[in-house]
Amino acid sequence: SRNGVWLAWGSPDSKVIGNMRGHSTETWVYVYYATYPYYYYPYYGPYGPGFGFFGDPFYDPFYYSLIPPSIPYPNKTVTFSNSRVMSFQYLEPN
């Protein structure tokens, strides 16, 4: 039931309305965020280390940032029809 899923997984990040075999459906999507592991290297632009500026063609704020960007991805989905669970999917951790 919707209440059981809500108690187990919490509120969804988004809801998708659809149709399955002539019956209306509602799919809840749960989004997780991951940070991409990378190593920080100091910026060496054409003017030497640390002289990067916005507009410099070699400057990439995500590559040279000390704070790694968060990457959202859908981790769980559950589809309801007439308040009953019709299907669910989730990603297994690696």
Neighbours of 43 (CB within 10 A): 18
pLDDT in tens, 30-56: 999 887 665 555 555 555 555 555 555
For residues 6-32, give the mean pLDDT. Answer: 94
Domain spans, the chain: 2-90
Residue 82 DSSP SS3: coil
Question: What's the predicted TM-score (pTM) here?
Answer: 0.67
53 Cα distance to chain centroid? 29
CA distance 12 to 27: 9
CA distances from 72 to 4, 31, 63, 69 (A): 25, 6, 18, 10
- Which pLDDT score is estimated for 50? 52
